[in-house]
Amino acid sequence: ILKHKKYISDFSVGLNMLKLLNGNPHIVQLIGFCEDMNIIVTEYHTYNNAINLKYLIKDSLVAIKFCLNYVEILDTLHTNSFGKLVNCDSNSLYKLLSQFLITNDLKIVLADLDSMQIVTNSTVICGSTKPNHEQLASNNFLPPEQIYFGWYGDKSEIWKVPDICEFFMNSNHNVVLKYVLFDIHKSCKNADPFKRPSAKYLVKKYKLVLNEL
């Protein structure tokens, strides 16, 4: 339910994205909506958002499955038929994790689509202001192109993949798995966004790691 009229634009974007992506297994399913009353109804998930995975992941097999699950969602967003989608509301790890829900069969689905933008060129400008330089100094979560220029694209989301995956792995302190994924994650943190791998490539690499466990 929309509580503040100033967010009507975000509400409309979220509803339109849910309509476009409805039926996709990586996206929360739309049950119904009433635009006149600004109400959206989606499926309910008992485990709530992905931050709670730190209590649910017990071994490396489950951890890498969630890493794979996450990049499969990115691949869906980056390669769908109506345009490359990126999430413009993901400036911190916990903010990003909060936008995913945990299903009863222990998968994650994207639930918050209010800030999705279609990338028409290689990047978009997210919002009216750039993250400040203090954010770059305080953490490695935001990609350089976003910090310095305000640019954001699919490769900006690849930069954040290691942080998301390591959150899943840290749930059971898996040092061996981190070592196995070191080179893959290093490539995601390349300062040049054009040299970072695609989500589709990461899906392939995570599947190989999963099959070897």
| Model confidence, pTM | 0.90
Tokens, residue 158: 């690849």
Q: Tell me: pLDDT of 132 over 80.
A: no
Write down the pLDDT at residue 12: 81
DSSP 27: B
CB–CB of 20/82 below 8 Å?
Answer: yes
| Beta strand spans in 82-179 (E) | 84-87, 100-102, 108-110, 116-119, 124-125, 151-152
Q: Which structural domains are found in the chain, ordered by start?
A: 46-212 (1.10.510.10)
Confidence of residue 181 (pLDDT cuts 50, 70, 90): very high
Residue 136 corresponds to which tokens in the numbers above? 């770059």
Residue 72 has pLDDT above 90, yes or no: yes
In this prediction, residue 6 carries a pLDDT of: 58
Q: What is the mean pLDDT of residues 160-189?
A: 90
Residue 81 has pLDDT above 80, yes or no: yes
Q: Please give the distance of CA 182 from its chain centroid, rounded to a whole number.
A: 20
DSSP, collapsed to helix, strand or coil, labels residue 46 as: coil
Report the C-alpha gap between 1 and 98 in whole angstroms. 18
